[in-house]
């Protein structure tokens, strides 16, 4: 997993990155901020909950982030392993110049879940996340 991604030089096309944030999730005991690089993009996600439980993936709409799900994450965590990624362009994930179509976003989510070893999950999403 790559934790640092430098911004593109001024005037270049491509990805504009933010620096990684390593911190516990305030108000959500047992949840962590993490990063993974998928298809050259640094994706931020928050994960926690029951490590033995089924996986629930939460995708937020535009212009939101994982934070849109914060009020239900703690409730889900008692039974489920929760993964709430920031899609490209959201929250602390990279902001590419293009690639916001449904197929490309789905490919990024699939790649993230593959890296996490997740092959079976329930999906909750709204807006562009759906």
Give me the average pLDDT of each 10-residue run along the chain (130 residues). 36 42 74 95 96 97 93 96 97 95 96 97 86
Global confidence as pTM: 0.80
Q: What is the pLDDT of residue 27?
A: 80
**Domain segments of the chain as ranges:** 15-129
Q: How high is the pLDDT of residue 88?
A: 96
- Which one is the CATH code of 15-129: 3.90.1150.10, 3.10.20.30, 3.40.50.12160, 3.40.50.1820? 3.40.50.1820
Residue 20 is predicted with a pLDDT of 53
Q: List C-alpha distances in Å: 117 to 27, 51, 110, 113, 120.
A: 27, 13, 11, 6, 9
């Amino acid at each position: 997993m790559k934790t640092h991604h430098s911004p593109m030089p001024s005037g270049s096309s491509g990805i504009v990155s933010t620096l990684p944030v390593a911190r516990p999730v305030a108000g959500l005991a047992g949840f962590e901020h993490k990063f993974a690089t998928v298809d050259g993009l640094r994706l931020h996600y928050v994960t926690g909950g029951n490590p033995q439980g089924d996986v629930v993936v939460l995708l937020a709409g535009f212009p939101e982030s994982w934070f849109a799900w914060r009020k239900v994450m703690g409730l889900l965590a008692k039974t489920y392993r929760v993964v709430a990624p920031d899609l490209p362009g959201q929250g602390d994930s990279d902001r590419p110049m293009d690639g916001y179509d449904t197929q490309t976003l789905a490919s990024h989510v699939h790649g993230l879940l593959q890296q996490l070893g997740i092959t079976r999950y329930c999906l909750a999403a709204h807006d562009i996340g759906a």
